[in-house]
Structure 1
Amino acid sequence: MPSIPRDLRYTTDHEWLTIGDDVSVAGVTAIAAEALGDVVYLDLPEVGTTLRAGEPCGEIESTKAVSELYAPADGVVVEVNAEVVAEPGLLNAEPYGRGWLLRLRITGAPDLLDAHAYAALVGAEVEELR
């Protein structure tokens, strides 16, 4: 099972979020990417879209199924990762790196899990910082 990066925050729907001063980055966890199988298509919200935490905001299509993407926090989309839209396999290969999905300007305090709480939820190990 993939490890969980310590410096991110997580939802119970398997999305991750950086907590930045102005803009946060969101993506799907390695555990979710592994469960999805090979991702072949992403439908992400447009820049300027207002998101509500926990509500569907896009779709991820893999060779196994089509899954909804849920907003990790209330906010406004300020950037969509065009690279991962053009090459959806990056979500599988680098879910915490080049496979990020959205940059959000957070408008409300998100209710997120820390790495240890998410790891306990999914039965994984927290990746220690090097």
Structure 2
Amino acid sequence: MSLKMTRDELTRFLEQEFPQVAGDFAIEEVGDMRVRVRLLVGVRHLRPGGTVSGPSIFALADVTVYLATLAMIGPEALAVTTNCSIDFMRKPTAGVDLIAECRLLKLGRVLSVGEVLIFSEGLEAPVARASLTYAIPPK
């Protein structure tokens, strides 16, 4: 299967369909069944103690699998998350961006299953790991 959307096309899609959050994310790399996305960490993403909040980390994982799926199937605004499991493994470094690396494990007609490792910029070990499933609406 080949790419149906480039990095620039995915960025424009996010800006058009999800303007409320598009500025939080930067798509860094798009490849066959994979994508890398950066959460541009700001004050709104922090919890007491100065670390990135769990909901912000979840949002990064969710958006990353969504974008990896769209890169392969094309623009489909109504693809939705049907399952998510996330492990928070380490405290992210305060005040630095998070980087999510996703690979799709399965891409079928109705489901897309992805795995995401999330890193705090500058740290080698991941701060979180997530597995998500997306439902793809029928054509």
TM-score of the superposed pair, with normalisation by structure 1: 0.33
Question: Which protein has the bigger helix share?
Answer: 2
RCO comparison, higher one (Cα < 8 Å, 6+): 1
Rg: which structure is higher?
Answer: 2
